[in-house]
Amino acid sequence: MHDAGKVIPGIIAFVLFVTVPFWTNFGKAAPKPQPELPKEYKKCVESKEFMRREHMKLLRKWRYDVVRNNMRVYINSEGRLINMSLQNECLRCHTSKKKFCDVCHDYVAAHPYCWNCHIPPEEKKGWATKEVKSLTEEASSKQPASHH
């Protein structure tokens, strides 16, 4: 081999670069995200598979329908009527952003901008924190002046 002094470091650099995912994860445990599901409610807006796959598109459609078209009722595939609202409807069952939304969002490094405008429910920290108030009251009092 000619120029081994340059070629061999080059080969090593190439191999290290393309195997980055393998050696950076070596010895680390692969965590499995487990979002906490509500105990008292069994059915979400749509099926679990649908929600896992398409909740962001659904929420976007809701936002559009509410903000642009003043449509506030969603009819799901079973014919059930659902109030199109993140804070009043979704968060009614999923009471913790940290234990539900953030679990998977952090896992896949997604950065949804829901909370730029919406108020996440107050996290219960133990005996000292007060009960979660009616979310609508809180939302209207804390709503920022401008939002897109």
Partner 1 sequence: MGAVFALVTVLAFVIVVYVGVGIAGLRGLFGIVIPYAAFLVFLIGMVYRMIEWAKIPVPFRIVTTCGQQKSFRWVKRSRLESPYNNFEVVLRMILEVFAFRSLFRNLKAEIKGPNLIYGSYKWLWLGAIAFHYAFFTILLRHFRFFSYPVPEPIQILDQIDSFFHIGLPHLYMTDVVILAALTFLFLRRLADPKLRYISLASDYLPLFMIYGLVISGILMRHFFKVDVTQVKEFTLGLVHFHPKAPQVGVIFYIHIFFLSALMAYFPFSKLVHMLGVFFSPTRNLANNSRAVRHQPAPWWKKPKFKTYCEWQEEFKEQLIESGQPIDEDCYEKK
- Residues engaged in binding partner 1 (CB under 8 A): 1-4, 7, 10-11, 14-15, 18-22, 24-25, 28, 30-33, 49, 52-54, 56-57, 59-60, 104, 106-113
The two tokens of residue 26 are: 């070596």
Give the integer Cα–Cα distance in Å for 104 and 32: 9
Compare residues 29 and 81 and give the one whose CB is closer to partner 1: 29
Please state the closest distance from residue 33 (CB atom) to partner 1, in A: 6
Among residues 46, 40, 20, the alpha carbon closest in space to that of 94 is found at: 40
Closest CA to 37 of 103, 86, 85, 100: 100
Q: Which is nearer to partner 1, 54 or 123 (CB)?
A: 54
**Given the complex with partner 1, which of 27 and 126 has the nearer CB atom?**
27
